[in-house]
Amino acid sequence: MWHYDEPVDGLLHVRIDRADRPVNSFSRATLEELRDLLVHVRNEDSIQGVAFCSGQPGNFIVGADVTEMKDLDGEAAAREMSQFGQKVFDQLAALKVPTVALISGACLGGGLEFAMACKYRLADKNPKTQLGLPEVMLGLIPGWGGTVRLPKLIGLIDALPMMLTGKMLNGFQARSKGLVHDVLPNEGLERAGIQVLKSGLPKMSARKPPLWKRIANNFGPIKKYILNKAEQQVQRQTRGHYPAPLKVIESLREQIASGMDSGFDVEANAIAQLGQSPVTRELMRLFFLSEAAKKPPEDLTVKPDANAVTDAAVLGAGAMGAGIALLLARKNVWTRLKDINSKAVSAGLQTINGLLKKDLARKRITPLERTRTLDHLRPITDYSGLKRTDIVIEAIVENLEIKREVFRDLAEATGPDTVLATNTSSLTVSDIAEGMSRPQRIVGLHFFNPPQQMKLVEIIRTPYTNDAAIATAFATVQKLGKTGIVVGDCAGFLVNRILAPYMNEVGYLLEEVAEPLEIDRAATEFGMVMGPIKMADLVGLDIAAHVAANMHAAYGDRMKSATLWTKLGEMRAKSGGGKRLIQGTGKKKQLAPDVTEAIDQMRRSGPSGISATLSREVIIQRLIYPMINEAARCLEEGIASKPDDIDLAMVLGTGFAPFRGGPLQYADAVGIQHVCETLDKFAEKMARMTPCAKLREMAKGNEKFSDAKVATPAA
């Protein structure tokens, strides 16, 4: 991994290139190689400085080898690995000659810990250059001195978000916080590194934080106060489900009490403990699933090529269409944005401009990147210029006849190999493609809102879609840096179909639970990113009602929406009431008055009334177990190819509790037989809860989803 020749003018140039991996990462062997290199530097008097650069484009060092970390056998092995890495990086920091890390691309986790052990750090302007400590996202903490060196370099206030949330910084943000000494064009990086090693840094490069930050970062009582507030925030946000951030705070407290070096011991012990925890195991599993999802399906006969996607069009300049167009243009894809008139297109461009201005203000992009993105956008109001387009993504109104008309026009306006994709969320792709010429090139690309933030994209294959269309769709998703999962075509596709019972059930629960907001509290306590009432509030009652009607039409009474939602819709139609379900925040949060009135009317007229027996456990069972039931149906019908796809999709697409690993991993944990028996008990009064044949079969055979035999996606 560490490649070098003889020193030139006393400077040793070390190229980091791990040939056995697609990216540079630290394994035990590479740490040992680094240790030996440092011995060589110490013993060789002719070496007056060392510059480290990456031999792989797009990454510096992405961190520890996660596969090796996962396979560590027990706490003792994990602790020793942490201590060994700390020792090697201490040896790097103790070198008497200057060292510089020339950072181009991802510098994450152990990679950043390595860079922080160097005397100097220079970064380039590459958009792929990101610096961060994302270990908490795997249920771990920085284990090679990160909790000690980062606060020392940039101060406690700026270090906390990076260590507690995995926040990433680009080169400019890193420079503003003092994490790197300068940001340069890539072609000038090595030359600047040589100059720094020879002459040190110019005085002007020294960063001086504001006075209040200097006081806060160096005054013990204030630091203790900051850590107390940080702990409260972590507990509030994670509800104690994720121990890693608390271990970071423990390390920082120990450093205040006993000196910085004590943080190393806390790190090593935390790595030993966290590495064996169920939370870390599930988060690592999701990480590996995300990595595996970057590869196309094994049965795909055409290989996706992200580099081949250079020309695209987006139909519909609303919030979703504008967001998708922005994603494409940012990746240097020539993108036409079309709507029915220039006013609509201009509104879409204004949306894009607003998003870019926010990113510019937050230093996520440079002015040059903003200009380049806008240069890749072409507003149009007709179908001209689409003959050579690789893919067209439709994101217009959810009306079947209008979509069919648009796709008929596209069939004439585009080339024979152009892939036609729909972003529909409530219609089936097969219905849109019905009667079209060349339906084999029509595919679904379901982005989740907002597309700039959500990682998941469902790639929907119809019975007509060919492998070439799937390959282009997959390549487009790859180009955008999203996670694409190929699913079969049905109402709701995969994610919304499994989510529908969860969202439906909240309507029934609202009629029964004495304290309605207890439903959301139960869901967030379980680990969901947000409760179902808040989710419905964000989606909007009108959209939720539209989706629910489609689901009911497709799947019958098990997807019938609660009468409460119909009642509330009727009341608001008459009164012109508001759109929100929840008012206020924090302790003042409550249901909107008309929601409370609708619930009261339902309780007065209905047979059920308030139930005092609905514990949080029962609420969770009624919300989550129907999701498991529907997921089993999706496997049975071949809508998803394997349980892992469902777990990953539900975590990325809906915020299902990551530390539980997804709905099917959770089902395995509590036992499928238990899930089936509980659903049967509910079904005595609620027929919608009846377990499907697949779930009964698995319960009878004492099977788990992790070893279930499943079908391939419908084709």
Residue 333 has pLDDT above 70, yes or no: yes
Q: Alpha-carbon dihedral of residues 357, 360, 364, 369, nearest 10 degrees? A: 100
- The pLDDT-based confidence of 711 (bands split at 50, 70, 90) is very low
Residue 403 located in a structural domain: yes
Which tokens belong to 369? 């990147």
At which of 460, 489, 518 does a domain end?
489
Residues 556-601 pLDDT 10s: 999 998 888 888 888 877 766 667 888 888 778 888 888 888 888 8
The DSSP code sequence of 385-407 is T-TT-SEEEE---S-HHHHHHHH
Predicted confidence at residue 710, as pLDDT, reads 41
Alpha carbon 631 to its chain centroid, in Å, reads: 21
Residue 413 located in a structural domain: yes
Predicted confidence at residue 588, as pLDDT, reads 80
- Tell whether 592 and 463 lie within a shared domain: no
- Of 314, 351, 339, 367, the closest CA to residue 172 belongs to 367
DSSP, collapsed to helix, strand or coil, labels residue 225 as: helix
CA distance 355 to 595: 34
Residues 164-207 pLDDT 10s: 999 999 999 999 999 999 999 988 899 999 999 998 876 545 56
- Residue 543 vs residue 454, higher pLDDT: 454
Q: Are strands 377-380 and 169-170 parallel, antiparallel or unpaired?
A: unpaired
Q: Are strands 334-338 and 169-170 parallel, antiparallel or unpaired?
A: unpaired
- Tell whether 516 and 536 lie within a shared domain: yes
- The pLDDT-based confidence of 689 (bands split at 50, 70, 90) is very high
Residue 283 located in a structural domain: no
- Tell whether 121 and 185 lie within a shared domain: yes
Predicted confidence at residue 577, as pLDDT, reads 63
The DSSP code sequence of 529-579 is SS-HHHHHHHH-HHHHHHHHHHHHHHHGGGGPPPHHHHHHHHHHHHHT--S
The DSSP code sequence of 160-205 is HHHHHH---EEHHHHHHHTSSSEEE-GGGHHHHHHHHHHH---GGG
Any idea what DSSP says for residue 490?
S
Residues 587-637 pLDDT 10s: 788 888 888 888 888 887 766 556 666 899 999 999 999 999 999 999 999
438: left (phi over 0), alpha (psi -120 to 50) or beta: left
Find the mean pLDDT for residues 674-700.
97
CA distance 474 to 480: 10
- Tell whether 481 and 511 lie within a shared domain: no
Residue 298 located in a structural domain: no
Predicted confidence at residue 311, as pLDDT, reads 98
At which of 456, 489, 522 does a domain end?
489
At which of 276, 292, 317 does a domain end?
276
Residue 705 has pLDDT above 90, yes or no: yes
- Tell whether 527 and 475 lie within a shared domain: no
- Of 655, 624, 627, the closest CA to residue 497 belongs to 627
- Tell whether 592 and 571 lie within a shared domain: yes
Any idea what DSSP says for residue 437?
S
Residue 523 phi, psi dihedral angles, 5° rounding: -65, -45
Q: Sign of torsion, CA 35 39 40 46?
A: positive
Beta bridge mates, 483: 456
CA distance 626 to 622: 7
Q: Which of 583-617 are b and which e, b meaning 16 or more Cβ less than 10 Å from the residue's Cβ? A: eeeeeeeebbebbebbbeebbeeeeeeeeeebeee
Predicted confidence at residue 576, as pLDDT, reads 65
Residue 677 located in a structural domain: yes
Tell me the average pLDDT of the chain: 92
- CB-based contacts of 150, cutoff 8 Å, min separation 6: 112, 116, 133, 142, 159, 162, 163, 179
Percent of the chain with pLDDT over 70: 96
- Of 662, 696, 652, 648, the closest CA to residue 676 belongs to 696
The CATH number given to whatever domain includes residue 387 is 3.40.50.720
Residue 286 located in a structural domain: no
CA distance 468 to 300: 9
**Which residues are identified as catalytic?**
446
Domain total in the chain: 3
Alpha carbon 312 to its chain centroid, in Å, reads: 24
- Of 374, 380, 367, 375, the closest CA to residue 350 belongs to 374
- Tell whether 403 and 387 lie within a shared domain: yes
The DSSP code sequence of 264-307 is HHHHHHHHHHHTTSHHHHHHHHHHHHHHHHTSPPTT-SS---GG
Domain span at residue 373 reads 306-489
Residue 712 has pLDDT above 90, yes or no: no
Residues 25-82 pLDDT 10s: 999 999 999 999 999 999 999 999 999 999 998 899 999 999 998 888 899 999 999 9
Predicted confidence at residue 578, as pLDDT, reads 65
- Residue 212 vs residue 463, higher pLDDT: 463
- Of 362, 294, 366, 295, the closest CA to residue 330 belongs to 366
- Tell whether 17 and 34 lie within a shared domain: yes
The DSSP code sequence of 108-131 is ETHHHHHHHHSSEEEEE--TT-EE
The amino acid occupying position 238 is: T
The CATH number given to whatever domain includes residue 248 is 3.90.226.10
Burial-class residue 226 by CB neighbours within 10 Å (0-12, 13-18, 19+). middle
- Of 574, 675, 569, the closest CA to residue 631 belongs to 675
Find the mean pLDDT for residues 288-293.
95
- Tell whether 473 and 606 lie within a shared domain: no
Predicted confidence at residue 546, as pLDDT, reads 83
DSSP, collapsed to helix, strand or coil, labels residue 520 as: helix
Residues 495-515 pLDDT 10s: 999 999 999 999 999 888 878
- Tell whether 217 and 346 lie within a shared domain: no
Burial-class residue 711 by CB neighbours within 10 Å (0-12, 13-18, 19+). middle
By residue count, the chain amounts to: 715
Measured CA distances, 403 to 235, 295, 421, 441, 476 (Å): 47, 31, 11, 16, 21
Q: Sign of torsion, CA 84 85 87 88?
A: positive
- Tell whether 595 and 577 lie within a shared domain: yes
CA distance 504 to 34: 56
Which tokens belong to 521? 């509290």
Which tokens belong to 104? 């181009």
Residue 299 located in a structural domain: no
The CATH number given to whatever domain includes residue 575 is 1.10.1040.50
CB atoms within 10 A of CB 580: 14
- Tell whether 584 and 630 lie within a shared domain: yes
- Cβ contact 242:279 at 8 Å: yes
293: left (phi over 0), alpha (psi -120 to 50) or beta: alpha
